[in-house]
Chains A and B, each alone.
Chain A
Amino acid sequence: MFSRAYKAAVAIPPIFWVAAFLLTPYLLLFCNSFWSVQGGQVVIHNWGLQNYKNLLHVPVYAEVLLRSMKIAGGVTLLALLLGYPLAYYVAFYAKHKQLLYQLVIIPLWVSYLVRAYAWKTILGTDGVLNTLLQYLHITHGPAEFLLYSPFAVVLTLTHIYTPFAFLPIYAALEHVPRNLIEASQDLGASRVTTFWRVVFPLSIPGVIAGATFAFVLSLGDFLAPLLLGGPSGVMISNIVVTLFGAAYDWPLGAAISVCMMLLVIAILFLTERLEKKWSFT
């Protein structure tokens, strides 16, 4: 087989890559979260928990985190409500499965930024939607709440992350053995009963995976709130961006990042266990 030297040689590039671009930044981030800024100019290396205490004492951080989780939760819910029926239709009824599948995937090739801007064009005061509403005399004057609001953020993120919820659900539904559905009907269950008692339980791992994608990805999003959120739609990542940028408080930004990372790791750990509990193959 392969010699030790050969094995070591092929292992070096990926190890180097992981060390240089993943471990080192994480380590720096972690260290930064215990440092502090002097005079708004220089990061000094005096170790302490001051940043974490700060996060607990200043209510705005908790508020924004809570809002981020609410937005992410809303996006997750909507993505599941849209993604599940779509996945169900494509998996069980669609004549042109591949085509529909591709139609769901294709938007992922379009730049995120372009799609977020598109929503800005649709939702703005002179936007497509407001123009239409006024033209139809449903509203008199532009509806302000459409843009620069948590609503706009949820809408945009739902649009962007629904495919991520769709994919694992679709995969789970495709793997539901068709003879189980026939067995259920054979035993006297209608289509609806069969769905709730057989198809849905067997698709739960996909639902959990899809929900995890939608939640985690939208929780850490900063572009949609930046472009469409306005002051009321600020999310936790916007605060991190500001702290690393204009506010020049890397240590505090790093502390928030570390907290976010721990939160996401906890979520992934939990959902993985849930997925295992519900998988039977």
Chain B
Amino acid sequence: MTTPAVTSTPVQPLLSINRVAKRFGNNIVLRDVSLEIAHGEFLSILGESGSGKTTLLRLIAGFEHPDSGSISMAGERIDALPPYKRRVNTVFQSYALFPHLTVAENVAYGLKVNKTPKAEVEPRVQQSLAMVKMNSFAKTKPSKLSDGQQQRVALARALVNRPRLLLLDEPLSALDANLRREMQFELKSLQREVGIAFVFVTHDQEEAMTMSDRVALLRLGELEQVASPREIYKSPATAYVAQFIGHSNLLRCTVSRGIALCGSIIFTTSEPDGPAVFSLRPEAIRVAGVATPSEHPRFKATVTRQVFQGATELFELDCAGITLISKIYGARVPTGEGDFEFAPAEIIPVKESR
């Protein structure tokens, strides 16, 4: 369990979710989800509210059971097991600390109910609290703690059991922006330290991007894409992914014999003939000049709006009826009509989303 964070899936995944579906009444929450989680991996399940991300987490934890499909841990089926028979622990969104127990008793809870030898309980509780820097609060009741402190205790309580997999259900959503950023880094380094696989549920794409080895983007109960943050940003699989992760200009083009046409933008592509969607990141659009390589597609556009954002400026471009957002760093931008360009590698064909 001390393997460092890995990005590729080893031969035997820690957890494998195979074609899982779940519905509540007439509401289909998960359609056909397959996902593998590697040992020691930090995986984020990212999605908007109603995407089914919390349900997926609850299926792994054992609070819900799938209607079809299977969930296996290290090769053994676990989808029929109750939560208390799974080597999975959860950090709940609202922390769910036991109000009648002290911090130390909260952390010791899992050890006690699992009948850990008495001599082992105290040192492990201390060690776990030390990991989240909460030793000095051992005898405090949770109601006396701040949100951030409760968060740490919840983490210590979940990790003390040495689970194979730790589930985190939007644990940072209640924290203010600064504390949140701080906790993101702490969580990430803690995860490296303990080497336990983390499954982190969030609706915040920035949070998912900064912390994860891989991001699984869920939409309407189906996975849109599972990839590393870099890959998911650089080569989004679908129009939805391109829109959801960062911002993206979606170009709906017509391809004919290797030439894509969209408004006044023309470029070569290997996509088959017919309609196609391409993603173009705002920062990929540059002002064309003499230094622009000849293979870069150029196009004429009119600047219709300009938004100052500190280090960057956002421009709204109109090119023959198509609106593009571009993010340009400290360059001289023409007022009115001008020439713009982008590198051919930066226009990514994506699948039209359902």
Contacts and interface: CB of A to CB of B under 8 A. Distances in A.
A184 interface: yes
Contacts, number: 69
Contacts of A189: 84, 109, 113
Nearest to A281: B99
Contacts of B130: none
A188 B97 CA distance: 15
Contacts of B238: none
Nearest to B109: A187
B264 interface: no
Q: Choose among B84, B88, B141, B158 the residue with the greatest number of A CB atoms under 10 Å from its CB.
A: B84
Contact of B157 (A177, A185, A187, A193): A187
A278 B101 CA distance: 11
B99 A202 contact: yes
Contact of B84 (A180, A190, A280, A281): A190
A188 B92 contact: no
B96 A179 contact: yes
B128 interface: no
Interface in A199-236: 201-202
Contact of B98 (A183, A186, A190): A183
A12 B157 CA distance: 57
A234 B98 CA distance: 46
Contacts of B97: 183
B114 interface: yes
A280 B143 contact: yes
B99 A188 contact: no
Contacts of A188: 84, 110, 113-114, 161
Contacts of B90: 182-183, 186
A182 B109 contact: no
B216 to A, nearest CB: 21
A202 B110 contact: no
B94 to A, nearest CB: 6
A264 B133 CA distance: 49
Contacts of B92: 179, 182-183
Given A183-B90, A183-B92, A188-B114, A280 B83 contact: no
A184 B158 CA distance: 11
A197 interface: yes
B141 A280 contact: yes
Contacts of A177: 94, 96
A280 B99 contact: yes
B100 A280 contact: yes
B61 A186 contact: yes
Interface in B35-93: 61-63, 82-84, 88-90, 92
Contacts of B62: 185-186
Q: Choose among A188, A190, A201 the residue with the greatest number of B CB atoms under 10 Å from its CB.
A: A188
A186 B113 contact: no
Given A187-B157, A188-B113, A280-B100, A179 B84 contact: no
A185 B98 contact: no
A199 to B, nearest CB: 11
Q: Choose among B61, B88, B94, B96 the residue with the greatest number of A CB atoms under 10 Å from its CB.
A: B96
Given A180-B98, A193-B113, A186 B84 contact: yes
Interface string A160-200: 00000000000000000101101111111110010001100
A198 B113 CA distance: 12
Interface string A259-281: 00000000000000000001011
Interface in B125-166: 141, 143, 157-158, 161
A185 B85 CA distance: 9
A202 B100 CA distance: 7
B82 A185 contact: yes
Contacts of A278: 100
Nearest to B83: A185
Interface in A114-139: none
A183 B114 contact: no
Given A280-B100, A280-B143, A184 B61 contact: no
Contacts of A281: 99, 143
Interface in B94-116: 94, 96-100, 109-110, 113-114
Interface in B142-196: 143, 157-158, 161
A187 to B, nearest CB: 4
B83 A186 contact: yes
A245 B89 CA distance: 69
Contact of A182 (B96, B99, B114, B141): B96
B113 A187 contact: yes
Nearest to A178: B96
Interface in A22-46: none
A187 B61 CA distance: 10
Interface of B: 61-63, 82-84, 88-90, 92, 94, 96-100, 109-110, 113-114, 141, 143, 157-158, 161
9 contacts: A179-B92, A182-B63, A182-B96, A183-B90, A188-B114, A189-B109, A202-B99, A278-B100, A280-B141
Given A183-B96, A185-B63, 13 more contacts: A182-B63, A182-B90, A182-B92, A182-B96, A185-B84, A186-B84, A187-B89, A187-B109, A190-B82, A202-B99, A202-B100, A278-B100, A280-B100
